[in-house]
């Protein structure tokens, strides 16, 4: 029986990469408008190259790209990029369809919930509060809290501890097979892959369940909670009658 669900947040509850692409494009346009001499498409590519190398939560991304492009940081250009990024982020950060109704139903069913994220602690909480998710989650575990990122076991074990559930009673929901799914499975936690948030063209998630929509969780949990049908009692009389007929 599933008593608790652990969620990743980016690309599981929120369409994070949609936001990231829109915000980076706006930042590049802002920096070019402020005087940076660069080709827009080329600069976007360079920014994402740095993201893929250092992680998409790199808080110094524009400092690095300006040093790479010009050998110094022009703070008018930097500020223009940051402001444009934040405005676009605020306008495009949104929950996937059915997230709110699904979380509300899980709460109604008495399912405990937690979040595990590799993003910095403050960034995670800013997203959660901005999207109204703090009404659902008291238990939020970040890499800052445990000193390790997924798939390391520390965050998953911390989630089990705060939820007070066993691995077999707990379901991990995430979009990243190599981190979310593999990390949870290593501790025996059950897994559901957020297929709708996949950005890696994953062929085999290795998860017990695959979700085309987050609301698929409701059916999985309801089905898992149903008691096993009782075995039909044996009927000695029928067996005796069968022997008599056969003889």
DSSP characters for 198-222? --S--S----SEEESSTTHHHHHHH
What residues does 211 pair with on adjacent strands? 194
pLDDT on residue 245: 45
Is there a single domain that holds both residue 31 and residue 48?
Answer: yes
- Of 73, 92, 111, the position where a domain reaches its end is 92
pLDDT at 94 over 90: yes
What tokens were used for 15? 């369409």
pLDDT on residue 54: 84
* CATH number, domain with residue 130: 3.40.50.1000
Q: pLDDT digits over 193-220, tens only?
A: 999 999 889 999 999 999 999 999 999 9
Is there a single domain that holds both residue 119 and residue 210?
Answer: yes
pLDDT on residue 228: 57
pLDDT on residue 243: 52
Q: Is residue 216 part of a domain?
A: yes
Is there a single domain that holds both residue 63 and residue 155?
Answer: no
> What value does the mean pLDDT take over residues 82-96?
95
pLDDT at 231 over 60: no
Is there a single domain that holds both residue 118 and residue 52?
Answer: no
Is there a single domain that holds both residue 10 and residue 44?
Answer: no
Domain extent, residue 147, equals 4-14+95-225
The alpha carbon of residue 58 and the mean position of all alpha carbons in its chain are separated, in whole angstroms, by: 18
Q: Is residue 241 part of a domain?
A: no
- Of 54, 71, 92, the position where a domain reaches its end is 92
What residues does 141 pair with on adjacent strands? 116
Q: Is residue 78 part of a domain?
A: yes
Is there a single domain that holds both residue 10 and residue 20?
Answer: no
Q: pLDDT digits over 25-45, tens only?
A: 999 999 999 999 999 999 999
What are the DSSP E strand ranges found in 9-131?
A: 112-117
Q: Is residue 210 part of a domain?
A: yes
Cα gap 124→1, rounded to integer Å: 29
Cα gap 170→168, rounded to integer Å: 6
Is there a single domain that holds both residue 87 and residue 106?
Answer: no
Is there a single domain that holds both residue 53 and residue 104?
Answer: no
Closest CA to 13 of 113, 143, 158, 163: 113
Closest CA to 10 of 159, 144, 148, 198: 198
How many distinct structural domains can be found in the chain?
2
Q: Is residue 182 part of a domain?
A: yes
Is there a single domain that holds both residue 100 and residue 221?
Answer: yes
Is there a single domain that holds both residue 77 and residue 167?
Answer: no
Is there a single domain that holds both residue 111 and residue 165?
Answer: yes
Q: With bands split at pLDDT 50, 70 and 90, how would you rate the model's confidence at 225?
A: confident
* CATH number, domain with residue 79: 1.10.150.520
The answer for 101, left when phi > 0, alpha when psi is -120 to 50, beta otherwise, is alpha
Q: Is residue 159 part of a domain?
A: yes
Q: With bands split at pLDDT 50, 70 and 90, how would you rate the model's confidence at 247?
A: very low
97 Cβ contact list (under 8 Å, min separation 6): 213, 214
Is there a single domain that holds both residue 70 and residue 187?
Answer: no
What tokens were used for 71? 């050998």
């Amino acid at each position: 029986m599933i008593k608790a669900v652990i969620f990743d947040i980016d690309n599981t509850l929120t369409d994070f990469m949609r936001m990231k692409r829109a915000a980076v494009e706006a930042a590049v346009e802002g920096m070019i408008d402020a005087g940076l001499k660069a080709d827009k498409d080329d600069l976007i590519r360079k920014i994402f190259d740095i993201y893929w190398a250092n992680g998409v939560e790199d808080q110094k991304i524009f400092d690095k790209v300006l040093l790479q492009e010009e050998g110094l940081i022009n703070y008018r250009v930097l500020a223009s990029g940051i402001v444009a990024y934040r405005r676009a982020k605020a306008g495009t950060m949104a929950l996937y369809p059915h997230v709110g109704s699904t979380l509300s139903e899980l709460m109604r069913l008495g399912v405990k919930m937690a979040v595990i994220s590799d993003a910095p602690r403050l960034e995670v909480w800013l997203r959660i509060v901005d999207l109204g998710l703090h009404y659902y989650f008291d238990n939020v575990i970040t890499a800052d809290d445990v000193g390790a990122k997924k798939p390391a076991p520390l965050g998953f074990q911390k989630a089990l501890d705060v939820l007070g559930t066993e691995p077999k009673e707990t379901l991990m929901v995430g979009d990243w097979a190599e981190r979310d799914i593999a990390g949870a499975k290593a501790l025996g936690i059950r897994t559901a892959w957020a297929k709708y948030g996949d950005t890696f063209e994953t062929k085999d998630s290795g998860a017990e369940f695959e979700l085309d929509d987050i609301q698929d969780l409701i059916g999985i949990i309801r089905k898992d909670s149903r008691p096993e049908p009782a075995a039909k009692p044996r009927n000695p009389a029928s067996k005796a009658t069968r022997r008599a007929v056969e003889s």
